[in-house]
Structure 1
Amino acid sequence: MVKLIASDIDGTLVKDGTLAIDPEYMDVIGRLIDKGIVFVACSGRQFRSERKLFAPIADKLLYVSDGGTVVRTPKEILKVHAMPDEIWKGMCSMIRENMPSCDYFVCTPECCFAEDGGSRMFHWLRDSYGYDIREVPEMLKLKDQQIIKFSVYHQNACEEMCASLFTPAWKDKTVMAAAGKEWMDCTPIGSGKGPALAFLQKYLGISPEETCTFGDNLNDIEMLQNAGFSYAVSNSRPEVQAAAKDTCPPYWENGVLQVLKTFL
């Protein structure tokens, strides 16, 4: 019997970078919660963006946000993974000096920071994802901030842009995961959706065999592998489909919704 459901958002439930979701998800998830099943929004998104997407039922969910660095209820943080300053500042300097076609931002549990408030990335995060993102004149001068994620942005080829220099330099010092064609997310060692889900399973006393997960990208693989029931949407990467126990229709056909209905 499934007692815990965790789902990625972008590319799994909705198109990347939108706050529009089929309202039937709210009805079905609400009914599952009423049956005693825990539902977890598990995303690279900021908590604020997750809450906006699930607004009608936001106070009934649990949340894994910012790529698995923060685990929380609607009212309190249960777990945080923070990144040493020398790591995220080193990544910041490398992007500036060697990858001028890429943009970047950093996350804290409360908000995000970027340097160019007029950039495509800034407006997409603020206006489409609904982020609380703030412009700062000099990222390297940020002080007293709990940085949980550093993200590299490129309009259509971020993974490729990072491959020659950035990824080799930081892959052993952070958890790196491509999140769609635009993002390379870097989080502290020990973080990720898989560890976050494992923490929640232990916290709630729910076994992997009683867990169902949904995902579409590389940062979902650990989460899919840590569940007795796991589905990759059919629009996902081949590596993700190989990691999941099953597939479901793509997000534009509400594939996850179709599976969720079977649990009713």
Structure 2
Amino acid sequence: MKGAKKMPIKAISVDMDGTFLDSNGYYDRDRFDTVFQAIQQNGILFIVASGNQYAQLKSFFPNKDEQIIYVSENGALTFQNNRLLAKHTFSIEIVKKIVAYLTQESENLEFVLCGVSQAYMTKSASLRFKEFAKTYYFSLNEVEDFKILPNDDFVKFALDVKETEVNRVVLELNSRFKNHIKAVSSGHGSIDIMLPNITKGTAVRQILEKNQLDVNELLAFGDADNDIEMLQLTKFSYAMKQSSNSVKSTAHHQAPSNNESGVLQIIETVLQL
């Protein structure tokens, strides 16, 4: 990779769905074990940065918790060694307003309400939506309704709509709750309602600062709009082959497809494996 010798990579951040994981939600574990051993030997931080829940993310990397930093819920929560290092939460007032809009004023948009402790959805949710939710949220509780909020702090709303409806719904949400939220596409019909000014990029930057690393010592990978701020951090940023145009125009480089282990290919090249 051009410039790598002048600025050695000391941290790697990877999105999961559409980036590190293939289309079936898997990755080459044997190949990664070899790469991860080299990452450790070179003293490189490995950061998993996803819109998904911490409980789900760590399930992909058994016996590696001590060596991985997890940025979950699009930057709202950061974990290491099963310890919460940082959290950013919505005010209860905003949560109530968003819940009211989604349940009463919108076109019955189904959603997962993501808390620090676990995630929540209604028992009356459609079977299709329940399957979606269970794929991404391992710690998931079904509630009767959201008239009374669960006893938790809340960090994100997750929606799943038709792909043709994503842009319209995102625009409507951002217009309705301007300055209070940031709604973004997270790929394949998924929409995340996030805290404004809290992103994967802000969380990864904080990790770099804590470890006294420069942003251009970071190698970053992503494929969806919720990765953009992370990719903007470093000149060593890679958009996956199948990324949206906005992601490709943000990243400085392009990686092979997630179905070709594109992330591992680039890391192997950088580390000269």
Could you say whether these structures have the same fold, taking a TM-score greater than 0.5 normalized by the shorter chain as the test? yes
Cα displacement (A) at 1:118: 5.5
Secondary structure in 2 aligned to 1:135?
strand
Cα displacement (A) at 1:198: 1.0
Cα displacement (A) at 1:75: 2.3
Q: Is the 8 A contact 2:117 2:152 kept in 1?
A: no
Cα displacement (A) at 1:107: 0.9
Q: Is the 8 A contact 1:26 1:54 kept in 2?
A: no
Quote the residue 1:206 is aligned against: 213
Quote the residue 1:217 is aligned against: 224
Quote the residue 1:31 is aligned against: 38
Q: Is the 8 A contact 2:12 2:45 kept in 1?
A: yes
Cα displacement (A) at 1:49: 0.8
Select 1:121's aligned residue among 119, 129, 134: 129
Select 2:163's aligned residue among 153, 156, 162: 156
Q: Is the 8 A contact 1:63 1:74 kept in 2?
A: no
Quote the residue 1:77 is aligned against: 84
Is the counterpart of residue 10 in structure 1 residue 10 in structure 2? no
Q: Distance in 1 between matches of 2:78 and 2:165?
A: 26
Q: Which amino acid aligns with 1:206?
A: L
Q: Distance in 2 between matches of 1:157 and 1:131?
A: 28
Cα displacement (A) at 1:98: 3.1
Q: Distance in 2 between matches of 1:163 and 1:247?
A: 26
Select 2:112's aligned residue among 80, 105, 129: 105
Q: Is the 8 A contact 1:30 1:57 kept in 2?
A: no
Q: Deviations over 1:189-209 (max 9, x none)?
A: 231111101110111111101
Q: Distance in 1 between matches of 2:220 and 2:160?
A: 27
Quote the residue 2:100 is aligned against: 93
> Structure 2 unaligned runs (5+)?
1-7
Select 1:195's aligned residue among 181, 195, 202: 202
Q: Distance in 2 between matches of 1:124 and 1:166?
A: 21
Is the counterpart of residue 168 in structure 1 residue 175 in structure 2? yes
Quote the residue 1:20 is aligned against: 26
**Residues 26 and 99 (structure 1), Cα distance of their counterparts in 2 relative to 1, 3 Å cut:** farther
**Residues 15 and 67 (structure 1), Cα distance of their counterparts in 2 relative to 1, 3 Å cut:** same
Q: Is the 8 A contact 1:9 1:42 kept in 2?
A: yes
Cα displacement (A) at 1:188: 1.8
Q: Is the 8 A contact 2:241 2:254 kept in 1?
A: yes
Q: Is the 8 A contact 1:180 1:217 kept in 2?
A: yes
> Structure 1 unaligned runs (5+)?
none
Secondary structure in 2 aligned to 1:63?
strand
**Residues 144 and 130 (structure 1), Cα distance of their counterparts in 2 relative to 1, 3 Å cut:** closer
Q: Deviations over 1:98-125 (max 9, x none)?
A: 3335210111122100003653222233
Q: Is the 8 A contact 2:238 2:255 kept in 1?
A: yes
What percent identity do the matched residue pairs reach?
Answer: 24
Q: Which amino acid aligns with 2:253?
A: D
Q: Which amino acid aligns with 2:118?
A: C
More off after superposition, 92-101 vs 214-223? 92-101
Q: Deviations over 1:204-236 (max 9, x none)?
A: 111101111000011111101111311000100
The number of equivalent residue pairs is 262
